[in-house]
Structure 1
Amino acid sequence: MQDTILKTVSLGKTFKGFQAVSDVNLNVARGSIHALIGPNGAGKTTCFNLLTKFLEPSNGQIIFNGLDITKERPAQIARRGIIRSFQISAVFPHLSVLENVRVALQQGLGSSFHFWKSGASLKVLHERVEELLCEVGLADFADVEAVNLAYGRKRALEVATTLAMEPELMLLDEPTQGMGHEDVERVTELIERVSKGRTILMVEHNMKVVSSIANRITVLQRGSVLAEGSYQEVSCNPLVVEAYMGSQGGGVL
């Protein structure tokens, strides 16, 4: 049995009387890829915002590594090793690929805002930058400005900057959104590769991606857990099939 790295107990969020998330109980196993799926408006991104404290829960608990972190601030949660990426690629467009990763690594030196220091003081980071770029397949793009990267490679760069923060738990919000087939395959393979020795919780619409790499899947509908299990289990669940067919005009898992 794998131990649980992240657990939520009756997690909920109400906005002016509207119950966006209701009684969500998540159990994310350490070392797994856990997917959070559901029709549009199911509450997936709201759950992510609650887990990272971009939103305050209205009720319930968030347990990470056995500690209740429900009342902690976003920065405290990040320092614990819960690092999130967003639907929109968040990189510095006019810095090179290498410089983007180096900026993320600087927080570990405590020199992020020491603008008076010589650039030579950052050379200590170069070996780790190169390791991260190799890990995400961007070693040949180190000197390219981020703005000139193809969309899939920008997402790979974002994964590299996320890895630079030494995450114990990576939260990936729609990592393949808006991608063509080739980029989807590249990023799917990347997620699987970087998951070795790490835990990933991801929101994802692309069921081909989910079916190929997710160890466990939680299905949300109208802010509540509809089903949970392997891809085979949830894809055969009549309630899940009905939810997707009803909300996506006949779409199937």
Structure 2
Amino acid sequence: MSEPYVLETRNLIKEFKGFVAVNDVNLKIRQGDIHALIGPNGAGKTTVFNLLTKFLIPTRGQILYKGEDITSLKSPAIARKGIIRSFQISAVFPHMTALENIRVALQTAEGTSFSFWKSGNSLNKLNERSMELLESVGLAEYANTTTVELAYGRKRALELATTLAMEPELLLLDEPTQGMGSEDVDRVVELVRKAAQGRTVLMVEHNLSVVSKLCDRITVLAQGAVLTEGDYQTVSADPQVREVYMGSDGSGERGVAGAEDDNVEAAQ
């Protein structure tokens, strides 16, 4: 019996005016796994995410979801299939309350986002589910707090809740712990672990501690291509990974600062 892959890429390539940002990438994401995509700055991690969710169009190659070729689909159709992503920068509405942010996400999921002629009271039916989602990320007590007043870690937790409101089957998380202190990182690790129950997660993450705690499988990118793949023990022991990702001494102290170069790629 073949592996139950929920997502595959086959010879995925993205070129920008002759520059190859993603070079013949073959991913196989197993159903129910938490799968990390890691690598140094400019490795192509966020570009791959943008290709999977069709914010960018592949130059060549295929993307398959549950065995179906979705390469030609646009972003809204991708989302309707249950592939939902977060972004490096928190994408919540700053001047709405936490509860209102969740209700907007639930409206989107129900296809009623543009029913502006309805009164605000008509949305109260969504409050119960909204509160359940806020409770799931530890934000129930902040339901009526304006988002701009939330600490950074809680804003990212709220973003995760709005993402879960879309009922994803495949959840794509782009740098979920970026810019966080250790306490917030630990909280988000637990939230991601909880969010992964019953679904598949693909995440870009620079924090090796987070990857080692959470991920079933890891794909390492370097210069737009897959360097190696495996569990954390296998990947972290690979000499090539120790060289290009963690530093030649293998200590991991150099780490990866983020994905700024990937953002440059995605903007081209």
Aligned residues: 253
Q: Secondary structure at the match of 2:71?
A: coil
Would the aligned equivalents of 1:6 and 1:65 in 2 still touch at CA under 8 Å? yes
**Relative to structure 1, is the Cα distance of residues 235 and 249 closer, same or farther in structure 2, using a 3 angstrom cutoff?**
closer
- The CA RMSD over aligned residues, in Å, is 1.6
> 1:3-30 CA deviation, whole Å, 9 max, x = no partner?
1100000001011111110110001111
Counterpart position of 1:47? 48
- 1:127 is displaced (CA, Å) by 1.3
**Relative to structure 1, is the Cα distance of residues 247 and 68 closer, same or farther in structure 2, using a 3 angstrom cutoff?**
farther
Residue type of the partner of 2:147?
Answer: A
Q: In the aligned structure 2, how far is the partner of 1:163 from the partner of 1:212?
A: 21
Counterpart position of 2:156? 155
- 1:136 is displaced (CA, Å) by 1.0
> 1:41-61 CA deviation, whole Å, 9 max, x = no partner?
100000001000111001110
Q: Secondary structure at the match of 1:35?
A: strand
Q: Secondary structure at the match of 1:23?
A: strand
**Relative to structure 1, is the Cα distance of residues 111 and 245 closer, same or farther in structure 2, using a 3 angstrom cutoff?**
closer
Counterpart position of 2:25? 24
Counterpart position of 1:95? 96
Would the aligned equivalents of 2:243 and 2:249 in 1 still touch at CA under 8 Å? no
Counterpart position of 2:261? none
Q: In the aligned structure 2, how far is the partner of 1:143 from the partner of 1:151?
A: 17
**Relative to structure 1, is the Cα distance of residues 45 and 204 closer, same or farther in structure 2, using a 3 angstrom cutoff?**
same
Counterpart position of 2:105? 104
**Relative to structure 1, is the Cα distance of residues 223 and 194 closer, same or farther in structure 2, using a 3 angstrom cutoff?**
same
Q: In the aligned structure 2, how far is the partner of 1:134 from the partner of 1:198?
A: 19
> 1:58-101 CA deviation, whole Å, 9 max, x = no partner?
11100001100000001110111111100000000010000000
- 1:108 is displaced (CA, Å) by 3.3
Counterpart position of 1:251? 252
Would the aligned equivalents of 1:10 and 1:24 in 2 still touch at CA under 8 Å? yes
- 1:124 is displaced (CA, Å) by 1.5
Gap regions ≥5 residues in structure 2: 256-268
Would the aligned equivalents of 2:242 and 2:248 in 1 still touch at CA under 8 Å? no
- 1:123 is displaced (CA, Å) by 1.7
**Relative to structure 1, is the Cα distance of residues 32 and 245 closer, same or farther in structure 2, using a 3 angstrom cutoff?**
closer
Counterpart position of 1:141? 142
Q: Secondary structure at the match of 1:34?
A: strand
Q: In the aligned structure 1, how far is the partner of 2:135 from the partner of 2:128?
A: 11
Q: In the aligned structure 2, how far is the partner of 1:57 from the partner of 1:109?
A: 30
Q: In the aligned structure 1, how far is the partner of 2:15 from the partner of 2:234?
A: 30
Q: Secondary structure at the match of 1:209?
A: helix
Mean alpha-carbon deviation: is it higher for 91-100 or for 117-126?
117-126
Counterpart position of 1:61? 62
Counterpart position of 1:204? 205
Query: What percentage of residue pairs aligned between the two structures are identical?
Result: 65
> 1:203-244 CA deviation, whole Å, 9 max, x = no partner?
000000000000000000000000000000000011111112
Q: Secondary structure at the match of 2:6?
A: strand
Deviation >6 Å, runs of 4+: 247-250
Q: In the aligned structure 1, how far is the partner of 2:65 from the partner of 2:248?
A: 33
Give TM-score, length-normalised by structure 1.
0.96
Q: In the aligned structure 2, how far is the partner of 1:13 from the partner of 1:248?
A: 32
Residue type of the partner of 1:206?
Answer: N
Would the aligned equivalents of 1:39 and 1:248 in 2 still touch at CA under 8 Å? no
Counterpart position of 2:241? 240
Would the aligned equivalents of 1:9 and 1:60 in 2 still touch at CA under 8 Å? yes
- 1:250 is displaced (CA, Å) by 6.6
Residue type of the partner of 1:197?
Answer: G
